[in-house]
Structure 1
């Protein structure tokens, strides 16, 4: 939550009073005087003191294991949305998804009402790594690994940044490969287009990690939970 909004909501300050609080050093975050009025804070990981009073935020963060077939949207007339995966008591009108996963892609998706955090996690300068696991309809080779590392060029000429591709298993009988891929971009249908550029097709795609967050090994599609304090602390570098 923006620090100035938190102060306004709790202390009902005017703009002039707000400015005076910052200039007089009466605003501290984690024991340090704060001058950035729009700083993103959360009282679960920051100690926020204003004019001698501790303030508390009320943001929520859900880590969802999105099922395939569910759309990343606030509403949809034909398909279930990621917000429909939450129980009624957990649904809020101010929640939004940090990024998106295609309807047929499953896996990790962060739902929150902290808009600034979501923006920073998606900003290209942050270079937040997204990790996917996928079944491919062909045998992935060392040549493919090298091509991904060098930077795949889409069929339309768009060049991707270098990506780390790892072969986890090969089903020679079916001619399929199970792979793990780490990228720091978020181009439209990027993973699918990267493999298409190599003459291969993604059969199933699942995101297992985003930045410091990852799905539990026993996570099942449809599972979700509030971020633990430990998980939220891992995101602290993305609060600015």
Structure 2
């Protein structure tokens, strides 16, 4: 027996939080009976579970790495008609997958998508401290003292940030900009941009280059690929606080 919201998330219906909202709203039935209790459990191999009258089916777990371009919304639909992640996946990916966390409209780079609700929840929960690395190109060149502030933690309006890893990646000889490699283990809204604003070096360009140890490799902007089993295991290890390396002979699926 499993919690109903977990079953729905694992079936690719939506994120676990959204599934809880569907249950609370009375849109979920188990054996033709409406269930609104979030603690309710069911057996997906025995019980008939439906959402808005449509029985769910267990979907194969799918794990996607996507190189998100700037100007793309990290959602599957957008009421304003803007370009979304789904627009880039729909020709090749028939299963319903959902972004693991978000990248801002103006942020590009590595985005994971999956229908594995459990893993997505673990990867995004603050208590698991999963590392995410960005290349932030900022106005002017921050002093070393500014990088030390980032490393110690920055006071934002929603509290102190956790210690980060920060180092110079590229510096303009004329001092007009610098690209800083920043690794954080949180996922607050616009956190990287706000951290640099706090040290008075606004972000010009922001790209996520790594998530839980996975990188873009040679994946072109706007392209996606399936993760290898070794890479999926690397994500699971990262969510459990275990550092692992993907074997060099593990070839990604295209």
The question of a shared fold, defined as TM-score above 0.5 by the shorter chain, is answered with yes
The runs of at least 4 aligned residues of structure 1 exceeding 6 Å deviation read: none
The higher radius of gyration belongs to 1
Alpha-carbon deviation of 1:89? Answer: 3.5
Which residue does 1:46 correspond to in 2?
none
Structural RMSD (CA) = 2.5
Which residue does 1:168 correspond to in 2?
169
Structure 2, gaps ≥5 residues long:
11-41, 48-57, 241-254
Counterparts of 1:91-110 in structure 2 under 5 Å?
A: 91-92=94-95, 94-110=96-112
Alpha-carbon deviation of 1:90? Answer: 0.8
2 CA distance for matches of 1:141 and 1:80?
37
TM-score for both structures, normalised by structure 1: 0.73
Alpha-carbon deviation of 1:230? Answer: 1.6
TM-score for both structures, normalised by structure 2: 0.69
Structure 1, gaps ≥5 residues long:
15-55
CA contact (8 A) 2:119 2:236 kept: no
Alpha-carbon deviation of 1:78? Answer: 3.0
2 CA distance for matches of 1:197 and 1:235?
31
Aligned length: 193
1 CA distance for matches of 2:209 and 2:150?
19
1:153 to 152, 155, 160: 155
Which residue does 2:230 correspond to in 1?
230
Which residue does 1:71 correspond to in 2?
73
Which residue does 1:38 correspond to in 2?
none
2 CA distance for matches of 1:219 and 1:133?
16
CA contact (8 A) 1:70 1:82 kept: yes
Counterparts of 1:172-183 in structure 2 under 5 Å?
A: 172-173=173-174, 175-183=176-184
Which residue does 1:40 correspond to in 2?
none
Which residue does 2:219 correspond to in 1?
219
2 CA distance for matches of 1:97 and 1:61?
10
Alpha-carbon deviation of 1:236? Answer: 3.1
CA contact (8 A) 1:83 1:91 kept: no
Deviation string 1:91-119 (CA, Å, 9 cap, x unpaired) is 43x31101000001001111111111100
